[in-house]
Structure 1
Amino acid sequence: MPEAGVSRTLALAWGLAAAPQRGPKRELTLERVVEAAIAIADAEGLAAVTMQRVAQTFEFSTMALYRYVATKDELHHLMLDAAMGGAFFAVETTGDWREELGSFVRQLVVGYRRHPWTLDIQLVPDIHMMPGQIRAAEQGLRVMRELPLGPDAKLGVLSLLAAFARGQATVEREVLAGAATPPGTRALIEEAVTPAQFPQVAALVRSGVYFGDPASDAGSPGAGSAAAADPVDDADEMLEFATQVLVSGLSAILSQMPEAPDAAAPPAPDPTPPEAYEAAEAELREHIELRKRTQRRVRELEREETALVRARDRAKEFAKAYAKRSRAQG
Structure 2
Amino acid sequence: MIDIEPPELPRGIALAWGVAANPQRGPKREMSVEKIVEAAVELADAEGIGAVSMAAVAAKLGFTPMSLYRYVTAKDDLLLLMQEEATGLPPEAHREAEGWRAKLMALFEAQAHLYLAHPWLLSIPITGSPITPSSSAWLDAALESLADTPLDDVERLAVALAVTGSARWYGIVIAGYAEQARSTGMSPEQITVYEAELFDRVITAEEFPSLRAVIEAGVFLADDDPFHFGIERIFDGVEAYIARVDRGEKRPAVDTWLIPEPAELAEDKKLREARKAVRAAEKALRDARKAERQVLKDARERTARHQ
Letter paired with 2:61: F
User: Which of 135, 138, 147 is matched with 2:137 structurally?
Assistant: 135
Contact 1:13–1:130, Cα closer than 8 Å, also in 2: yes
Structure 1 position 187 matched with structure 2 position 217: no
> Match of 1:281?
none
Distance 1:88 1:27 in 2: 32
Residue 185 to residue 201, structure 1, CA distance change in 2 (3 Å): closer
Distance 1:201 1:208 in 2: 11
CA-CA distance at 1:82 after TM superposition: 1.8
Gaps of 5+ in 1: 216-221, 224-236, 261-330
> Match of 1:271?
none
> Match of 1:254?
242
Q: What is the DSSP-based 3-state SS (H/G/I as helix, E as strand, rest coil) of the residue aligned with 1:125?
A: coil
> Match of 1:159?
161
Contact 2:104–2:163, Cα closer than 8 Å, also in 1: no
Distance 2:209 2:40 in 1: 49
CA-CA distance at 1:20 after TM superposition: 0.6
1:107-122 pair list within 5 angstroms: 107-122=110-125
> Match of 1:145?
147
> Match of 1:78?
81
> Match of 1:214?
221
Residue 182 to residue 112, structure 1, CA distance change in 2 (3 Å): closer
Gaps of 5+ in 2: 1-5, 181-190, 249-307
1:226-305 pair list within 5 angstroms: 237-258=225-246
Letter paired with 1:252: A
Contact 2:89–2:137, Cα closer than 8 Å, also in 1: yes
Q: What is the DSSP-based 3-state SS (H/G/I as helix, E as strand, rest coil) of the residue aligned with 1:124?
A: coil
- Number of aligned residue pairs: give it: 231
Residue 5 to residue 152, structure 1, CA distance change in 2 (3 Å): same
Q: Which has the higher contact order (CA 8 A, sep 6+)?
A: 1
Letter paired with 2:215: V
CA-CA distance at 1:173 after TM superposition: 2.5
Q: What RMSD, in angstroms, separates the aligned Cα atoms of the two structures?
A: 2.5
CA-CA distance at 1:88 after TM superposition: 5.6
> Match of 1:33?
36
CA-CA distance at 1:26 after TM superposition: 6.7
Distance 1:111 1:93 in 2: 20
CA-CA distance at 1:245 after TM superposition: 2.0
Fraction of identical pairs, as percent: 32
Contact 1:106–1:239, Cα closer than 8 Å, also in 2: no
> Match of 2:291?
none
CA-CA distance at 1:113 after TM superposition: 0.9
Letter paired with 2:214: L
Contact 2:89–2:138, Cα closer than 8 Å, also in 1: yes
Distance 1:256 1:182 in 2: 42
Contact 1:85–1:134, Cα closer than 8 Å, also in 2: no
Residue 35 to residue 90, structure 1, CA distance change in 2 (3 Å): farther
Between structure 1 and structure 2, the one with the greater Rg is 1
CA-CA distance at 1:43 after TM superposition: 1.4
Residue 259 to residue 17, structure 1, CA distance change in 2 (3 Å): farther
Contact 1:148–1:259, Cα closer than 8 Å, also in 2: no
Contact 2:104–2:145, Cα closer than 8 Å, also in 1: yes
Q: Please give the per-residue CA displacement for 1:158-190, whole angstroms capped at 9, x wherever unaligned.
A: 11111111111112223444563496764222x
Letter paired with 1:257: V
Structure 1 position 200 matched with structure 2 position 188: no
Distance 1:126 1:240 in 2: 25
Distance 1:5 1:200 in 2: 55
CA-CA distance at 1:238 after TM superposition: 3.5
Distance 1:238 1:185 in 2: 18
Q: What is the DSSP-based 3-state SS (H/G/I as helix, E as strand, rest coil) of the residue aligned with 2:42?
A: helix
Q: What TM-score do you get using the length of structure 2 for normalisation? A: 0.68
Contact 2:196–2:221, Cα closer than 8 Å, also in 1: no
